[in-house]
Amino acid sequence: MPDFTFTPTQRALLVRLLRAAYPHPTFPDGPFERTADAVIAKANENTWDGLTLAAGLNSLDERAGGNFAGLSDDVAEKVLREIADAPFFRMIRGVAVVGIYDDHEVWERLGYEGSSFELGGYLHRGFDDLDWLPDPRITEYDGPDQLVEVAPDDEPGAQS
């Protein structure tokens, strides 16, 4: 196992990068910090990921003209767009898209309630509480029309 150590400053920069790549201004830092730790853990699973993450974080300020953490969200995203294909940033995104959105604190912010089995499902907890549209028919159509499975012109031998 490789052993890549990242300083608190590098970790903070990684958190800032994650917040710029996945801008959710109302989210707390917790999910991004946990995701940063997951990225660092991944970097310690194989040498290539570790090497590329170290190189990427070490050069990010330089790429940003001195101080990536000081950039506005818009400018930071623009800088990241320029390096979208860099291996370290790809590796970060691969971990982040799972880590951030599998985080229960994020689910709470997004309004997702998750598992409901232990609470009796959503049957009595709002599975049909949408009230801004009329209640639709749930049975199959039983009116006078018949679905035309094959258009007349598409019958074998039909003149087209």
Partner 1 sequence: MSETTSASIPLEDEAVVIIGSGAGGGTLAYELTQRGIPCVVLEAGAYLTPEDYENDEWGAFGQMAWLDPRTTSGSWRVATDFPTLPAWIVKAVGGSTTHWSGATPRFREYEFRTRSYYGDIPGANLIDWPITLADLAPYYDKAEIAIGSSHRHGRPPLPANNNYKVFAGGAERIGYKYYATGPYGTNAEPYDGRPGSIQDGFNFQGDKFSSKWSTAVREIPRAIATGLCDLRTSCQAVQIQHDRTGRASGVVYADADGVLHRQAARAVCLAGNSLESPRLLLLSASASHPDGLANGSGQVGRNYMRHMTGSVYAQFEQPVRMYRGETMAGIVADEARLDTSRGFVGGYYLETLSLGPAFLAAFVEPGAWGREFTEIMDAYVRTAGLWIVGEDMPQESNRITLRPSVTDAIGLPVVDVHVDDHPNDVAMREHGYGRADLLYEAVGAISTHHTPPYPSTHNLGTCRMSEKPPEGVVDRFGQAHEVPGLFVSDGSVMTTGAAANPTLTIVALAIRQAEFIAEAFARHEL
Q: Of 62 and 102, which has the nearer Cβ to partner 1?
A: 102
Only one of the segments 1-9, 48-56, 60-68, 116-124 lies at the binding site for partner 1 (rule: CB under 8 A); that segment is: 116-124
Q: What does the DSSP 8-state code read for residue 140? A: P
Alpha carbon distance 150, 143 (integer Å) = 19
Residue 63's φ and ψ, nearest 5 degrees, are -60, -35
Say whether residue 115 binds partner 1 (CB under 8 A). Answer: yes
Contact 68, 16 (CB under 8 A): yes
Note the residue count of the chain: 160
DSSP letter, residue 123: T
Q: Is 28 in the site for partner 1 (CB under 8 A)?
A: no
Q: Is 68 in the site for partner 1 (CB under 8 A)?
A: no
65 binds partner 1 (CB under 8 A): no
Q: Is 151 in the site for partner 1 (CB under 8 A)?
A: yes
What track of x and - describes contact with partner 1 for positions 123 through 142 (by CB under 8 A)?
Answer: x-xxxxxx-xxxxxxxxxx-
CA angle 62, 30, 45 (to 5 degrees): 65
State yes or no: residue 98 binds partner 1 (CB under 8 A): yes
Judge whether 68 and 74 are in contact, CB under 8 Å: no
Q: Which of 24, 28, 60, 67 binds partner 1 (CB under 8 A)?
A: 24
Q: In angstroms, what is the minimal distance from the CB of 5 to partner 1?
A: 27
Given 1, 3, 147, 159, the residue binding partner 1 (CB under 8 A): 147
Question: Which are the contacts of 153, defined by CB distance < 8 A and separation ≥ 6?
Answer: 159, 160
Strand ranges in 29-98 using DSSP code E only, listed in sequence order: none
Summarize as ranges the residues that interact with partner 1 (CB under 8 A).
Answer: 21-24, 77, 80-81, 93, 96-98, 100-102, 106-107, 110-117, 120-123, 125-130, 132-141, 143, 145, 147-151, 153-156
